[in-house]
Chains A and B, each alone.
Chain A
Amino acid sequence: QITLKESGPTLVKPTQTLTLTCTVSGFSLSARGVGVGWIRQPPGKALEWLGIIFWDDDDRYRPSLKNRLTITKENSKNQVVLTMTNMDPVDTATYYCAHRREDMASYFDYWGQGTLVTVSS
């Protein structure tokens, strides 16, 4: 059974760095074809894809966030970490991590419950 769970701060101040951890179970982060993506959703708004890391440590990012965003993983800990620098109130959102099922096909079949991050002084 595949599960993902996000953890991290619920409140960050403007200009601070956000670090969120996605702890996964039921699959291996190093298994060929596996990917874990990050998606966020501002309150009452649409979903926004942020980035993804693949089993071979390749990664892709939303271009508008590329300079602020880093996604890494630690296979032995079953964890994927999102780091976003220079946080702003517009970054207030629920942040989700999600599992990609197929190689070369990044639709997401399992999602974490999400964690609401508020950016405010």
Chain B
Amino acid sequence: DIVMTQSPDSLAVSLGERATINCKSSQSILYSSNKKNYLSWYQQKPGQPPKLLIYWASTRESGVPDRFSGSGSGTDFTLTISSLQAEDVAVYFCQQYYSTPYTFGQGTKLEIK
């Protein structure tokens, strides 16, 4: 199984500041034939299902504010929120869909400082 490890486990950032969440896979999730990274990011608020933010490591889902961006390749990935808003308080998960079993990171809890 591909293990997804997120860091940090929790993060407190001031409103308007940048938040950065990291995700590392235990093996490369870059598919050589199409040069795509099989990684997605989700946001989950209490009592709600996860919401897709980013797929293909850096493609923003329709309707997601442009303060959210994804980057990285191979085994190291980052979700960045450029200017934290109050509504961004949530738990964030990365997921690899390179191979089954598809696996998620353990989650990063983002709070306001």
Q: Which residues of A are at the interface with B, using a C-beta cutoff of 8 A?
A: 37, 39, 46-49, 52, 60-63, 96, 98, 105-109, 111-114
Looking at the complex, which of B20-28, B49-57, B76-84 is the stretch in contact with chain A? Answer: B49-57
Select from chain B the residue with minimum beta-carbon distance to A96.
B49
* Chain B at the A interface: SS class: loop
A39 to chain B, nearest CB (A): 8
**Could you list some 19 contacts between A and B, CB below 8 A?**
A46-B104, A46-B105, A47-B42, A47-B95, A47-B104, A48-B104, A49-B95, A49-B101, A49-B104, A60-B101, A105-B55, A106-B97, A107-B95, A107-B97, A108-B50, A108-B52, A109-B61, A111-B49, A114-B49
A-B contact count (CB 8 A): 55
Q: Given A46-B107, A105-B97, 14 other A-B contacts at CB below 8 A?
A: A47-B42, A47-B93, A49-B104, A63-B101, A96-B50, A105-B55, A106-B97, A107-B52, A107-B97, A108-B40, A109-B52, A109-B61, A112-B49, A113-B48
